[in-house]
Chains A and B, each alone.
Chain A
Amino acid sequence: MSCKKCPELRNKRVVKEIIQEQLVLESDLASDTVFASRLAICASCEHLIDRHTCAICGCYVEFRARLAYKRCPLKKGW
């Protein structure tokens, strides 16, 4: 199998666009305060890849941290 989009997927702007597009479809969102505190935990996590992907669940952290009902897959404070 062959995926050819990896260079694009490492582009910060492209990643942000993907996240924003997909969040439009979500309704149960966390507040800005909760979101920021969650992201701070992700930022210092050793499992964060390329500053945007969680190696444990494969999610973009700015997506997962925005969903109120989601938890950190390692339960690291959220």
Chain B
Amino acid sequence: MTKKGIATVHMDEPGATINPAIYGHFAEHLGRCIYEGIWVGENSPIPNKKGLRTDVVNALKELQVPVLRWPGGCFADEYHWKDGIGPKEERKKMVNTHWGGTVETNEFGTHEFMTLCEEIGAAPYINGNVGSGEVLEMQEWVEYLTATKGSPMAEERAKNGRVTPWELPYFGVGNESWGCGGNMRPEYYADLYRRYQTYVRKYGKKPVYKIACGANVDDYNWTEVLMKQASAFMDGLSMHYYTVPGKWEKKGAATGFSEQEWDETLTKAMYMDELITKHSAIMDQYDPGRRIGLIVDEWGTWYDVERGTNPGFLYQQNTIRDALVAGITLNIFNNHAERVHMANLAQTINVLQSVLLTEGEKMVKTPTYHVFNLYKVHQGAALLPLHVTNGGGLHMSASINKQGKAHISVCNLSQYDENELQLDLRGVIDKKKVAATILSADVRDAHNTFEQPNRVTPKSFTDLVLENNQLSATLPPMSVTVFALS
């Protein structure tokens, strides 16, 4: 059956700028995300530069990762940064109590992370330890990273091989303080946040964008309390939401899932729109000018781990269904560009909705990777208003960049139905050319493996017509398409 999707894009009414950081990622010390996924060490037979995997660095560079969050997640509130600096052989080891109980060698620490950010061109977003760390410890971390010479921490940094201070654009004060980060009540955390953030000093040229720990999913009271008691002290407030098709105890499989699980997954992914709308409405009461960003610094699909893998490593495959979740979610973030200033997909490599998977020397790009690569054209562009008359199972967003090139990303959520898209381009006077790229698949759990790395890969899309300010196209089921109008 063919469906029909009708919408109008107001090409002459550009709105809020889509912050590039909406396309951010998250790398936690969890399973094989950091070790094996990013860091193999300088003596590894796997090609690397300064211990960082060359294949991974190149793939992330291509993605134009705008911002990378580290070291957690739950790990952040048990991480003591001084254990991760200085000669590697002298670094204190610790047990990663949250994730598999593995021994953390601290081989990958502050210098390694900042080098990674420099290599891939991403802004660092460091999450400080409030749960088990002291305020002085956190203050000294910011000083170590950003202070110029003369400061004790800057001298320590120079002794460890880095004279020039780094820029630290973003800093998070605690993570999930309502849960793994200390099991706090919002009133208590609000006070603690006010205290800790005071010591996130401006040592460098630019002030640090301070992010307070925000709500778990639909805990609107948390947002209310934080905004009421601490909004004057923050630049951003976080929110976490994961798409889990089943129940927490039995989430469902990443591959081999049913028709019903497809629908449940996409329906639950769409819930992000309601969450942002409602949290934003609360924030609007205290911050009508929308100075403070809603930072969705953990989002993504969460399934049962792959059979035979250590459940503490949270390793899952990634299919065309995940590509649709990514497409929908990024459209939602674009459409809320005024309030969503940053978002971080969990997680970069070998964990939940990862963009890359590795095994030994092998690496594969997932369908989610390809969506981020297609959507990167929205980074820094102005959001275009889009009015959907008849969605017909489509989900979309549109933007126009400084060069006047417009991009429209459209997801066809149906497993079976193609969709005749009809887009009225209102206010268009000079858009004559259209090109499009599509990511789609023949089965609902199509995915890439080390044996078949290109089973789900973007292709040029030509089943379209641009005529009389109207763009028409026939979109296949289970597809993410990005149109470029110039």
Contacts and interface: CB of A to CB of B under 8 A. Distances in A.
B228 to A, nearest CB: 26
Given A1-B346, A2-B180, A3-B314, A59 B308 contact: yes
Nearest to B181: A2
A59 B359 CA distance: 11
A18 B312 CA distance: 12
B315 A55 contact: no
Contacts of A57: 32, 309, 359-360
A75 B35 CA distance: 19
Q: Chain A interface: which size bin?
A: 20 to 34
B128 interface: no
B312 A6 contact: yes
B308 A19 contact: yes
B311 A9 contact: yes
B176 interface: yes
A73 interface: yes
B97 interface: yes
B102 A58 contact: no
Given A2-B180, A73-B360, A59 B310 contact: yes
Nearest to B302: A1
Contacts of A60: 308-310
A43 interface: no
Contact of B311 (A1, A5, A50, A55): A5
B99 A55 contact: no
A58 B315 contact: yes
A78 B416 CA distance: 42
Contacts of B110: none
State the majority secondary structure of interface residues on A: loop
A58 to B, nearest CB: 4
Given A6-B99, A10-B101, A59 B309 contact: yes
Contacts of B310: 9, 52-53, 58-60
Nearest to B31: A58
B402 to A, nearest CB: 37
Contacts of B346: 1
B101 A6 contact: yes
A6, A9, A50, A59 interface centre (most CB from chain B within 10 Å): A6
A22 interface: yes
A73 B36 CA distance: 12
B280 interface: no
Interface in A35-64: 49-50, 52-53, 55-60, 63-64
Contact of A25 (B179, B180, B307): B307
A1 B36 contact: no
B338 interface: no
B80 interface: no
Contacts of A2: 74, 98, 176, 179-180
Given A1-B242, A1-B346, A25-B307, A9 B101 contact: yes
A34 B360 CA distance: 22
Nearest to A25: B307
Given A1-B346, A55-B35, A58-B315, A22 B307 contact: yes
A75 B315 CA distance: 21
B35 to A, nearest CB: 7
A7 interface: yes
B48 to A, nearest CB: 15
Contacts of A25: 307
Contacts of B74: 1-3
A75 B359 CA distance: 11
Interface in B308-327: 308-315
B186 interface: no
A57 B450 CA distance: 12
A19 B311 CA distance: 11
B298 A1 contact: yes
B44 to A, nearest CB: 11
Contacts of A64: 308
Nearest to A67: B308
A53 B36 CA distance: 14
A70 to B, nearest CB: 9
B308 A63 contact: yes
10 contacts: A2-B176, A3-B311, A5-B312, A10-B101, A26-B307, A49-B100, A52-B310, A56-B36, A73-B359, A75-B360
Interface of A: 1-3, 5-7, 9-10, 18-19, 22, 25-26, 49-50, 52-53, 55-60, 63-64, 67, 73-75
What are the 6 closest A-B residue pairs judged by CB atoms, nearest first? A63-B308, A73-B360, A2-B180, A58-B313, A53-B310, A6-B101
